[in-house]
Amino acid sequence: MSLHIPFDNTYATLPGAFYTRLNPTPVAKSERLAWNSALAQELGIEGADDSVFAGTTVPKGAAPLAQLYAGHQFGNYNPQLGDGRAILLGEVIDQHGQRRDIQLKGSGPTPYSRMGDGRAWLGPVLREYVVSEAMHALGIPTTRALAAIATGEPVYREQGALPGAVLTRVASSHLRVGTFQIFAHRGHIDELRTLTDYAITRHHPGADGPMGLLKAVCAAQSKLVAAWMSVGFIHGVMNTDNCTISGETIDYGPCAFMDAYHEGRVFSSIDQMGRYAFGNQPRIAVWNMAQLATALIQLFEDKDKAVEDATAIVHAMPGQLQAEWLNRFAAKIGLSDPTPEDQTLIEDLLTLMQTDGADFTNTFATLHTDQARDQFTDRGAFDTWAQKWRARGPDTDLMLRTNPQIIPRNHRIEAMIDAAVAGDMNPFERLMTALTAPYDLPAGYDDLRRPPTQDEIVPATFCGT
């Protein structure tokens, strides 16, 4: 069957200041590594042409472009970033009536590549494929992976020559806080207004103007970050250019799921100060929304009133985050209508877990059984906590629906990548099979629940591809 993608593009109709039109760079040889047929069906895509998803062939109806944006990176403003190794092929309307971007990542240089080659190597492509699809299976808003294609060309990094690959990423959009920042910073108010209207129409149609948009994005990001924390996920690089207006997780660079619980856990190899540590993620989400507010304020003639309104919205966000966090973690211990005392109960458990180095996922996954106490060295302290918890009458069914049995552990991902580089995709396929059912792990995959041994621990992952 020949490939058919039902494009219905809107971003390409925006003014030329928003992007640069260009085609992906062809590759030497396309070879399919992974194809998400269920997602393709959802998007209305018929057939599968590897040359399209490698960037060698531009499909009919596409409107290829690289998007422009700026952003704060580790707190420092970079006035121009943009898609340095990605091309937006276009948009489709899926079976649920939702508009979705189809983007090639690793598709060659663009005007925003900043001396980079615009390519990606196999490891980060498969990492994003696995982790983004695992997040989807966990019920957490995220970009999706449609395809991973080998390019038949080497990519040169510090490690030397590595096999090249292209990821096809699907998103509700690729609008970021940084997309707003670049026009606000440049004083391009007409473009900023056009972008704001477009974002409201596409993502938050109930929002009343710029402040309504800010309020809606704050709510979406509060839900997202609380969901991350409930599964022990550390994004690793919460720059404003990696913060979406839609409230989806995007850009799986130095990300990871925690093994032993610690609120100060960092996985980015360059985050020396712990800015994006696990426990800092709520604070950074608020900081990012303050940057969005700063951009949107430029749309108002009465700046003092706009600052007052935006400040109230951003200052309300910590309370929203805390409420979302409490609901998520209360469900993890089987409580559907949490009280302030339950927050203390949850915090006491996390303190015990951090003190004893208890595994985050396995503690909660076994909490309804006697096996949970095996995660702790001070079992007497856990027993004392458990007595108080059981007095609350936890709902076991709620816990089973809320606590995954499996997450994509960092050491498993690294082993999968090593195997794929050697030409063996079986570990990738096995991991994907298990992660599609995180709350009801299929028989024969229990080994994937095991935390890393001391010599298997992967202490950091790296930004970029």
The DSSP output letter for 376 is: -
Helix H segments across 303-359? 303-315, 317-332, 340-356
Cβ neighbours around 311 below 10 Å, total: 13
Interior angle at CA 363, CA 358 and CA 367, nearest 5: 145
Q: Which two tokens stand for residue 330?
A: 């209360």
Q: Residue 46: beta bridge partners?
A: 4
Pairing state between β 31-35 and 144-157: antiparallel
Among the listed residues 49, 83, 94, 241, the single catalytic one is 241
> Residues 149, 150, 154, 158: what is their CA dihedral angle, to the nearest 10 degrees?
60
Separation of alpha carbons 206 and 203, rounded Å: 9
Burial bucket for residue 236 (CB in 10 Å: 0-12, 13-18, 19+) = buried
The DSSP output letter for 166 is: E
Task: For residue 42, give the 3-state DSSP assignment.
Answer: helix
Is residue 383 annotated as part of the catalytic site, yes or no? no
Q: Amino acid letter at 238?
A: M
3-class secondary structure per residue, 181-248: HHHHHHCCHHHHHHHHHHHHHHHCCCCCHHHHHHHHHHHHHHHHHHHHHHCCEECCCCCHHHCECCCC
Separation of alpha carbons 199 and 95, rounded Å: 21
Q: Amino acid letter at 257?
A: F
Task: For residue 291, give the 3-state DSSP assignment.
Answer: helix
458's CB contacts (< 8 A; 6+ apart) are 256, 410, 411, 413, 414, 452
Q: How far is CA 421 from each of CA 9, 128, 150, 161, 164, rounded to the nearest angstrom?
A: 36, 16, 11, 11, 10
Distance from CA of residue 177 to its chain's centroid?
15
Q: Which residues are catalytic?
A: 241
